[in-house]
């Protein structure tokens, strides 16, 4: 019986390691990108809570067995393993950042009249086909001094509505999108808006394959490349497609001077499991563990799958905010990126 308990303890410890840092060992990364770990990894708070609950139950069980039968030491040891695993989960959340401001500080970055301090403010918002409206998006842009907008699950015409509303306020944006047919589902369309204050941009064909992605690069060659992404969700029937699309997205981390935003349908853990390193604007600013989906759950309990990434050298996130407007099932993420030079 002791052998069985020892084997169970070893298995649970292994699972706890996969759920903590799957990138620490190459063979663990494969599990992190497969059912059910790919889905579970997105919800770190719940992982920590379940592990803590298990530790308490086992500790009580071990204590009762010890009092009645002078046994229970293995159960007690397993409770300790679960407790440590739980604390590691919560510690990782704190390290990534749990600050939840709802608005950015006043914008001193790029403006129509001047370059300011060259900060670039990015908004990504999955609008769920317009459930968060063009008016609500344009208000967020105006209020927070946004320079770049990424709108997954948003049709071309809705992106145009946002651009027109902003133009009426004297804020002119260039529009790029995935050229999705009006007859296709809106979740296949991603819109990217870039302020003319950043210079003239043109659409590039160098987009991550199959991930509802759009890329815009500066015509002059000076300035960051902007990438809007939306890989498919990790539903059980489409796991291979999800792995392929998220890998294609995170391969962009090898570029220099880029800013990539959108609904990644994955977290930093999946990124590391794929073996890629990117700068994370929300994490830089102390909000990397704050969730954006589903919006029906408190932000601290949901998954941080809407992200703003950069090359880790050209910019650093200095301010971030999680926002909720409209009826989308996502929250929006605002990140202000400051040049490092």
Q: Peptide bond preceding 294: is omega within 30 degrees of 0, i.e. cis? A: yes
- Strand ranges (E), 170-305: 173-177, 190-195, 201-204, 214-218, 225-229, 258-263, 279-280
Angle at 14 between CA 13 and CA 20, to 5 degrees: 90
Predicted TM-score (pTM) of this structure: 0.93
CATH architecture of 120-339: 4-Layer Sandwich (3.60)
Eight-state DSSP code of residue 304: -
Angle formed by the axes of helices 156-167 and 134-144, nearest 10° = 50
pLDDT at 33: 95
pLDDT at 209: 83
Domain layout of the chain by residue ranges = 1-96, 120-339
pLDDT at 95: 96
Whose CA is closest to 261, among 225, 309, 303, 294? 309
Cβ-proximal residues to 322 (8 Å cutoff; 6+ apart), any chain = 100, 101, 102, 287, 290, 292, 299, 331, 332, 333, 334
161, containing H or E segment? helix 156-167
Q: What is the pLDDT along the chain (341 residues), one digit of tens a residue?
A: 667 767 777 777 777 777 787 777 777 788 889 999 999 999 999 999 999 999 999 999 999 988 888 877 888 888 998 999 999 999 999 999 999 988 898 877 665 545 556 899 999 999 999 999 999 999 999 999 999 999 999 999 999 999 999 999 999 999 999 999 988 999 999 999 999 999 999 999 999 988 899 999 999 999 999 999 999 999 999 999 999 999 999 999 999 999 999 999 999 999 999 999 999 999 999 999 999 999 999 999 999 999 999 999 999 999 999 999 999 999 999 999 999 97
């Amino acid at each position: 019986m002791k052998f069985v308990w020892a084997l169970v303890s070893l298995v649970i410890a292994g699972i706890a390691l996969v759920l903590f840092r799957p990138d620490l060992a190459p063979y663990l990364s494969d599990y992190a990108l497969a059912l059910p770990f790919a889905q579970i990894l997105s919800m770190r708070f719940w992982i920590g809570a379940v592990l803590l609950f298990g530790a308490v139950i086992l500790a009580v069980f071990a204590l009762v067995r010890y009092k009645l039968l002078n046994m229970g030491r293995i159960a007690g040891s397993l409770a300790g393993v679960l407790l440590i695993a739980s604390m590691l989960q919560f510690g990782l959340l704190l390290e990534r950042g749990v600050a939840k401001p709802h608005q950015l500080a006043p914008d001193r970055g790029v403006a129509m009249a001047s370059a300011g301090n060259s900060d670039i403010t990015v908004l990504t918002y999955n609008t769920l086909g317009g459930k968060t409206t063009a008016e609500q998006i344009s208000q967020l842009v105006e209020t927070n001094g946004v320079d770049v907008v990424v709108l997954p699950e948003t049709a071309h015409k809705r992106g145009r509505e946002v651009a027109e509303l902003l133009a009426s306020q004297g804020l002119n944006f260039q529009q790029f999108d995935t050229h999705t047919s009006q007859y296709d589902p809106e979740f296949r369309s991603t819109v990217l808006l870039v302020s003319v204050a950043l210079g003239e941009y043109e659409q590039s064909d160098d987009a991550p394959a199959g991930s509802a992605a759009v890329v815009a690069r500066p015509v002059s060659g000076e300035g960051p490349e902007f990438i809007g992404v939306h890989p498919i969700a990790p539903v059980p029937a489409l796991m291979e497609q999800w792995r392929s699309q998220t890998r294609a997205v995170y391969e962009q981390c090898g570029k220099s001077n880029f800013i990539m935003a959108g609904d990644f349908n994955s977290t930093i853990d999946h990124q590391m499991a794929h073996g890629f390193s990117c700068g994370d604007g929300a994490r830089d600013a102390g909000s990397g563990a704050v969730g954006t989906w589903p919006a029906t759950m408190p932000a601290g309990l949901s998954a941080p799958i809407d992200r703003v990434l950069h090359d880790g050298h050209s910019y650093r996130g200095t301010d971030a905010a999680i926002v909720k407007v409209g009826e989308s099932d996502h929250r929006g993420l605002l990140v202000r990126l400051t040049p490092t030079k």
